[in-house]
Amino acid sequence: MEHPLLFILFKLFLIILLFTPQLTLAQYPACQSTCGTLQVKYPFGTGDGCGSPRFQPYVTCETGRDQLLLTTHTGSYPITSISYTTSTLTITPYDMSTCISMHRCSSILGLDWASPFQLGPSTFILISCTPPTSSLTLCDPSYSHLCASLYTCPAVVSVGLQLFPPTNTCCVYSPANLNGKGELDLRALNCDGYSSVVSMGQYPTDPSQWEYGVALKYVNGVLDNNIIDTKCNACEKSGGVCGYAPLAGDSFVCVCKGGYNTTMDCYSSYAQNQGVFWSAASSPTGEIWFGFLAGLIFCLLN
């Protein structure tokens, strides 16, 4: 070799060239599999083109705060848990009262008729209502002990009640339901606040131990079920996130970690998709191929 330095530089240049496509392709994937601490799987998605097109208008991951939100015509509500096996989720509205913190609110909690969400099994406890609440037909007097328990919380003073108030301003609405407009309208019920309990666990008399939130059920469409069975499971197993292509009739796409999309799963697309090789370079098998190729070039040069 007459110019060994030149050759080394040339090899270096080749190696840099080899790595460059991987760097440009390994961008942040468009859809995330988590939002904050929540695992986000189909039919939910973290943004446009992610999850199911039937769910996407209602559920998004708020950027910056990493909080999954359910948005309806009455507001946006943090989603605090999802059970994919029972198709239920829990929302925790900011103005919902708990034993620790009670809020005055005249707000309305509503679900959209066209959305795939329905009220699940929660117990609403309406507080600081105009007495007597026995005139409210939706109150169930057989649960009035829950009112007595919740009214032992010192936070009652923040909704204008005295400590240990009489329970004739409280009303248990169970099973909770929404009115004809799909809403819980506190103003129409003449109540200043509400609490919602998902579970009392083993502490029916200790409201500081209750699990607060509004349980919702979600309903997969026939199309969603079909996609889950045929494509989405394979996509998620291969480390991808299920989504859809708004510009292609909302057809299914699997969004892979390397920042590329496929109509199959993220494994089988390695072989299919040209350019995908570079993303594969970050996987163990990819590295072997990479080493093989680099070795080949070295041999050819020397």
Closer of 108 and 235 to ligand NAG (Cβ): 235
Question: Residue 31 or 125: which CB sits closer to ligand NAG?
Answer: 31
Region of 8-16, 159-167, 226-234, 255-263 interacting with ligand NAG (CB under 6 A):
255-263
- Residue 79 interacts with ligand NAG (CB under 6 A): yes or no: no
**For ligand NAG, the closer CB: 51 or 182:** 51
Spatial distance between the Cα atoms of 98 and 74, rounded to a whole number of angstroms: 21
Give the count of residues interacting with ligand NAG (CB under 6 A).
11
The residue within the footprint of ligand NAG, chosen from 33, 38, 46, 49 (CB under 6 A), is 49
Answer for the pair 122, 173: CB distance below 8 angstroms, yes or no.
no
51 sits near ligand NAG (criterion: CB under 6 A): no
List C-alpha distances in Å: 156 to 116, 153, 166, 192.
Answer: 35, 6, 11, 11
Tracing tokens 């996609």 back to the chain, one arrives at: 227
Instruction: Give the three-state DSSP class for 249.
Output: coil
Q: In the set 136, 148, 245, 294, which binds ligand NAG (CB under 6 A)? A: 245
Between 245 and 264, CB nearer to ligand NAG: 245
Q: Determine if 243 is a binding residue for ligand NAG (CB under 6 A).
A: yes
Interaction between residue 59 and ligand NAG (CB under 6 A): no
Residue among 127, 116, 143 at smallest CA distance from 216: 116
With respect to ligand NAG, which residue has the nearer C-beta, 129 or 242? 242
Residue 255 as a binder of ligand NAG (CB under 6 A): the answer is yes
Residue closer to ligand NAG (CB basis): 50 or 99: 50
Which of 202, 29, 213, 49 has its CA nearest to residue 125? 213
State the CB neighbour count (10 A cutoff) for residue 135. 11
Neighbours of 17 (CB within 10 A): 9
253 binds ligand NAG (CB under 6 A): yes
Q: Which two tokens stand for residue 55?
A: 């769910």
Q: Do 33 and 68 touch, CB atoms closer than 8 A?
A: no
Q: Which 3 state secondary structure label does DSSP give 212? A: strand
**b/e string for 44-55 if b means 16 or more Cβ within 10 A?**
bbbbebbbbbbb
Residues 256 to 285 in contact with ligand NAG, rule: CB under 6 A = 260-261
Distance CA 162, CA 155 (A): 10
Q: Which of residues 29-48 bind ligand NAG (CB under 6 A)?
A: 30-31
Q: Smallest distance, Å, CB 50 to ligand NAG?
A: 6
Candidates 154-162, 175-183, 232-240, 254-262; binding stretch for ligand NAG (CB under 6 A): 254-262
> How far is C-alpha 35 from the chain's CA centre?
6
> What are the residues binding ligand NAG (CB under 6 A)?
30-31, 49-50, 243-245, 253, 255, 260-261
